[in-house]
Amino acid sequence: MESSNGFRNFTQMKNLVFLILMTLFLQQCVQKKIDLTKQPTQQITMEDNTHTNNPYYSRTDRTKLNVSNEEWKKILSPEVYAIAREANTEYPFTGKYNEFDEVGEYYCAVCGNHLFRSSSKFASTCGWPSFFEADKEGVIYKRDQSHGMERIEVLCKRCESHLGHVFNDGPPPTGTRYCMNSVSLDFQRDKK
Ligand code: FE
């Protein structure tokens, strides 16, 4: 009789342990599910596509803009304004698109004009996102002799914001290296 009770207690205990383990396992699953649903939100912030307070931003209108810096200062974040409108440079190896190889399109962070396709991006060691080819309708060039250097500045064709510089030490097929500031760019991932 005693051994039968013992056996029953053992079985009950085993069931209890099984139940606890199952509960823990299910909690883990729910936790994982929550984490997965959080992931897209993080990716959206990476794309930074919120331009609700910028009336000039458009990914389709290529009409040239004539907006004063006084006006841009009211619209853009201090970081975007300093780089795109005052031609500052972000610190190397700090930009969000430096080590970034998602497939999609790059637009001007100031006005939304199309600038680059991800297929022209290459792994440069210079510390800034680099492309071997730009959208011909997206960019214009300007001689830049600042800081005691002779360089070619790259600007957005639509809003004339500073994007970076272009050099002739890029990879094939063009041999060109568009060295860009991540801050001046907006990325849109291809829809699957
Ligand atoms: Fe622009």
Query: Are residue 118 and residue 48 in the same domain, yes or no?
Result: yes
pLDDT in the model for residue 12: 74
Give me the chain's average pLDDT, please.
Answer: 85
Give the distance (Å) from ligand 1 centre to CA of residue 173: 26
Where residue 41 falls among pLDDT bands split at 50, 70, 90?
A: very low
- Quick one: pLDDT band at residue 17, thresholds 50, 70, 90? low
Rounded CA gap, 81 and 73, in Å?
6
pLDDT of residue 192: 81
Query: Are 92 and 4 within one domain?
Result: no
Q: For residue range 53-101, list pLDDT tens digits in order.
A: 999 999 999 999 999 999 999 999 999 999 999 999 999 999 999 999 9
What pLDDT is attached to residue 45?
40
The CA distance from 105 to 189, in Å, is 7
Q: What is the mean pLDDT of residues 161-188?
A: 98
Which residues span the domain enclosing 182?
34-189
Q: Chain-centre distance of CA 143, in angstroms?
A: 28
Q: State how far the alpha carbon of 62 is from the alpha carbons of 7, 34, 47, 58, in Å.
A: 81, 41, 21, 8
Given the residues 108, 111, 159, 179, select the one marked as catalytic. 179
In this structure, are 18 and 82 located in the same domain?
no
> What is the distance in A from the centroid of ligand 1 to the CA of 6?
79
Average pLDDT, integer, range 155-159? 98
- Identify which of 120, 115, 127, 94 has the alpha carbon closest to the alpha carbon of residue 175: 120
CA dist., res. 157 & res. 121, Å (int): 19
Do 15 and 87 belong together in one domain?
A: no
Ligand 1 centre to CA of 186 (Å) is: 10
Which residues crowd ion ligand 1, with CB under 5 Å?
Answer: 108, 110-111, 113, 156, 158-159, 161
What are the b/e assignments for 114-131, b being 16+ CB within 10 Å? bbbbbebbbebeeebbbb
Does 108 qualify as catalytic in the annotation? Answer: no
State residue 103's pLDDT score: 98
20 and 61 in a single domain? The answer is no
Task: Give distance in angstroms: CA of 54 to centre of ligand 1.
Answer: 12
Tally of domains in the chain = 2
**Burial state string for 48-77 with b = 16 or more CB within 10 A and e = fewer than 16:** eeebeebebbbbeeeeebebeeeebeebbe
Give the position of tokens 């214009």. Answer: 140
Same domain, 105 and 145: yes
Both 45 and 120 in one domain: the answer is yes
Instruction: Tell me which of 143 and 14 has the higher pLDDT.
Output: 143
Same domain, 183 and 99: yes
62 and 16 inside one domain: no
Between the CA of 145 and the centroid of ligand 1 the distance, in Å, is 22
Residue 136 clears pLDDT 50, i.e. is over it: yes
Which one has a higher pLDDT value, 35 or 108?
108
